[in-house]
Amino acid sequence: MKTLNGENHMRSRAIAAGVLALATVLALGACSAPSSDSRPNKQIVLWHMENTPSRVKVFQALADRYNATNPTHTVKIQVQDWGQIYTKIAAAAQSGKQPDILFAIPDFTTYVRGLGLGQPVTDVVNRVQATSGLVAASTAPYTDAGESWAVPLYGMVQMLWYRADLLRAAGVQPPKTWSELLAATKKLTSGNTSGIALPAGKNLATDQVLYSLMITGGAANFFTKDNKIAIDNSKTVAAFDLYAQLLAFSPKDSGNYSWPEPQAAFTSGAAAMAIEKGQYLAPFEAESGRPASDLGCAPIPVADNGGMPGSIYYSNGAMVLSKDKSTKDGAAKFLEWILDPKQYGDFLNAEPGLFLPITKNGGTESNWRQNPTISTYKTCVDAMLKQADTGTLFGFVDGQYVKSIGQISGQNFLAQAVQQMYVNGQTPTQAVTWIQKQMQDAISK
């Protein structure tokens, strides 16, 4: 009996140890996969957040083509998600696991630099400027203290899109000024059709459309020279007022719209107009069942008094994060290769219409123009390129570089102000006072 008990005691100990070991092994080792650390030295890791399948495919194909040219450094792409990148890059930076190249937009660049990442790429930008010529709006938001912090790769600009068929039926001319826009919106609203579809959700989409109207109303710059907030002025009030009036003719659930909903309303004919970027071109015929000629475009209408042409302009670029000299050079080589007209067209065609060239020769010398979407909507594409010349972005107007712009765009204050008017019934004046205070608090904390 005693011996038996002894054996059993031993066995429980053995089992106890076994369970512990098994659990640990299973948890930590049994299903481990190749670690990202095992990459060869001569490789550049690139993160981009354009995770739509079509873009993923095109970017990967280009990387493969580049790697086939026997470069000093091969490129390995790892696709990330815009919704997750803020936490992920912060976490990766703290563990030293950041990529060598990171795609970015201007306000995200200020965030990444705040994490202590990012190397100047001024020499690369200067070289591209010399060989291909760069659109001014594409480099400006990445220029700080005389250095460039990202190589611009493509631009995005907004237009007023309209359904030519619906405008014809209602006898409306494409609007050029704010008052014409408002009148057209009213006239086009009937039954199941909204005159315009605008986003009013708490998101970047709302920020962007409202900001385009602020630009054409002369309220583009809402910072003082020493980077204080100066948004509380009559021009901003006028732009807010216009937005609130237009929203009355937008579908009634606009308060939760971001990008896809206005576009779906527009292509399905539930709305006659929309203000957005070039993503409206490619799916138009398939989603609307209408000929391409029914998709009309016009510059964003300008304020009747003191207005100026313009639009929000998003310059998408690539930051170089690696501090290692040879990796940095390898990254520069790849980025310059992308911007070379020989492959730049293929790069832009990852999202034809949405991705606009940022080099002067990119629009003419590359095969971008041969893309069916680009050739079908040639007039609108040309109009977008022209609009790009007057494009700008808040925080980076006229050579500004507001480092705290991330706090402002991150919290979607412009969109929140729209919701104050649209949901809480504030007047434009109240909303502007509100936003002035919110923005001040945000950058002072």
Partner 1 sequence: MTLSTTNRAVRTVGDRLRRPVVRSGMPASTKLLGYALVAPIVIIMAVVIAFPLVSAVTTSLQNQHVIGSPADFVGVDTYAKLLQDDAFWAALGRSGIWLLLNMIVQTLLAFATALLLQRNGWWSTSARTWIMLPWAVPTVAVAVIWQWMLNSNYGVVYKIFAGVGIDLGAPFANGAFSLITVILVNSWHWFPLSAVVIYGALATVPNEVIEAATMDGANAWRSFWAITFPLLQRVLFALGLVGSLWSFNVLDSIYLTTKGGPAGASTTMPVYIYDTAFSAFRSSEAAAASVVTVIVLAIAGMLFFRFGRPKEY
Partner 2 sequence: MRFSVRLERVPAVVAMIVLTVTVLGPLYWITVSAFKDRQEILLSTPTWFPQTFTLTNFQQLFLSTDYVIYLRNSIIVAVATTVVTLIVSLAAAYSLYRLRVPGSGRIAGIVLVSYMIPGALLIVPLYKTLSGLELIDTFAGLVLVNVAFTAPFCTWLLRGFLLAVPTELDEAAAIDGAGPARTMLRVVMPLMVPGVATVGVYTFIFSWTEFVFASQFIVSDTLKTLPIGLSALVGQYTINWGLVMAGTVLTLAPTVILFILVGRFFVGGLIAGATK
Please report, as ranges, the residues that interact with partner 2 according to CB under 8 A: 1, 4-5, 7-9, 11-12, 14-16, 19, 22-23, 26-33, 35-37, 49-54, 56-57, 77-84, 87-88, 90-92, 94-95, 97, 192, 259-260, 263-264, 267-270, 277, 279, 282-283, 286-289, 354
The DSSP secondary-structure symbol of 306 reads T
Q: Compute the least distance from the CB of residue 78 to partner 2, in Å.
A: 5
Distance CA 348, CA 143 (A): 23
Q: Compute the least distance from the CB of residue 350 to partner 2, in Å.
A: 12
Which of partner 2, partner 1, none does residue 81 bind to, with CB < 5 to 8 Å depending on kind? partner 2
Q: Compute the least distance from the CB of residue 440 to partner 1, in Å.
A: 13
**Binder of partner 1 out of 36, 51, 94, 293 (CB under 8 A):** 94
Q: Closest CB to partner 2 among 80 and 148?
A: 80
> Residue 210, class by beta-carbon neighbours within 10 Å (0-12 exposed, 13-18 middle, 19+ buried)?
buried
Contact present, 314 and 142 (Cβ < 8 Å)? no
Q: Does 25 bind partner 1 (CB under 8 A)?
A: no
Q: Compute the least distance from the CB of residue 320 to partner 2, in Å.
A: 18
**Binder of partner 1 out of 411, 429, 430, 440 (CB under 8 A):** 411
Which of partner 2, partner 1, none does residue 202 bind to, with CB < 5 to 8 Å depending on kind? partner 1
Structure tokens at 363: 């629009």
Distance CA 351, CA 382 (A): 16
Which of partner 1, partner 2, none does residue 308 bind to, with CB < 5 to 8 Å depending on kind? none
Helix (H, G, I), strand (E, B) or coil at 401: coil
Q: Closest CB to partner 2 among 285 and 389?
A: 285
Q: Compute the least distance from the CB of residue 17 to partner 2, in Å.
A: 11
DSSP string, 124-169: HHHHHHHHH-B-HHHHGGGEETTEE-SEEEEEEE-EEEEEHHHHHH
**Binder of partner 1 out of 268, 293, 326, 370 (CB under 8 A):** 268
Other beta carbons within 10 angstroms of residue 35's beta carbon come to 7
Residue type present at position 372: P
Which of partner 2, partner 1, none does residue 56 bind to, with CB < 5 to 8 Å depending on kind? partner 2
Identify the residue whose tokens are 């890059």.
89
How far is residue 131 from each of residues 66, 123, 332, 340, measured CA to CA in Å?
20, 12, 15, 9
Distance CA 46, CA 434 (A): 41
Which of partner 2, partner 1, none does residue 267 bind to, with CB < 5 to 8 Å depending on kind? partner 2
Q: Closest CB to partner 2 among 13 and 168?
A: 13
The DSSP secondary-structure symbol of 259 reads S
Contact present, 353 and 378 (Cβ < 8 Å)? no
Q: Closest CB to partner 2 among 51 and 444?
A: 51
Backbone angles phi, psi at 359, to 5 degrees: -100, 150
Q: Does 91 bind partner 1 (CB under 8 A)?
A: yes
Number of residues that bind partner 1 (CB under 8 A): 55
Q: Closest CB to partner 2 among 143 and 279?
A: 279
Contact present, 218 and 309 (Cβ < 8 Å)? no
The residues near 217 (Cβ < 8 Å, ≥ 6 apart) are: 178, 235, 236, 238, 239, 242, 302, 303, 306, 307
Distance CA 139, CA 397 (A): 12
Q: Does 203 bind partner 1 (CB under 8 A)?
A: yes
Backbone angles phi, psi at 414, to 5 degrees: -60, -45
Q: Does 256 bind partner 1 (CB under 8 A)?
A: yes
Q: Closest CB to partner 1 among 17 and 308?
A: 17
Q: Does 422 bind partner 1 (CB under 8 A)?
A: yes
Q: Does 308 bind partner 1 (CB under 8 A)?
A: no
User: Which of 316, 314, 313, 318 has its CA nearest to residue 124?
Assistant: 318
The residue ranges that bind partner 1 (CB under 8 A) are 6, 8-10, 12-13, 15-17, 19-20, 23-24, 27, 86-87, 90-91, 93-94, 111, 114-116, 200-203, 251-257, 261, 264-265, 268, 270-271, 406-407, 410-412, 415-416, 419-420, 422-424, 442, 445
